[in-house]
């Protein structure tokens, strides 16, 4: 009769673990769009000074976009690193848990 509480505890724990994974994933946090302003082409008949200014503004615009992408990529990479660490911990912990439960049943 002493094994019954252990078996019940194991069954409850297994149910809790499976329920935790059955939950819907958390909503992704809101991500602000880039704030880079694309310059408007002044037209073919614009003077050289306007074309040069537009060229410089367009270069600044593309640098702004590159910086935004680099920032987002760094966050994505860190998220992936942390997610992979959690998966590895899960993969290591579950067999340990199963072995512990098995040893309690012996």
d(CA 55, CA 49): 10
pLDDT in tens, 3-36: 544 555 555 555 555 555 567 888 888 999 999 9
pLDDT at 17: 56
d(CA 102, CA 106): 7
Q: Does an H or E element contain 104, and which?
A: helix 48-105
């Amino acid at each position: 009769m002493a094994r019954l509480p252990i078996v019940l505890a194991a069954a409850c724990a297994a149910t809790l673990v499976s329920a935790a994974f059955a939950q819907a994933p958390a909503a992704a946090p809101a991500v602000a769009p880039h704030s880079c302003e694309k310059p408007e082409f002044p037209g073919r008949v614009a003077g050289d000074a306007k074309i040069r200014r537009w060229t410089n503004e367009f270069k600044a615009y593309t640098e702004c976009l590159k910086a935004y992408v680099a920032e987002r990529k760094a966050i994505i990479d860190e998220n992936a690193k942390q997610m992979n660490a959690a998966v590895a911990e899960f993969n290591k912990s579950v067999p340990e848990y199963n072995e512990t439960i098995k040893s309690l049943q012996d």
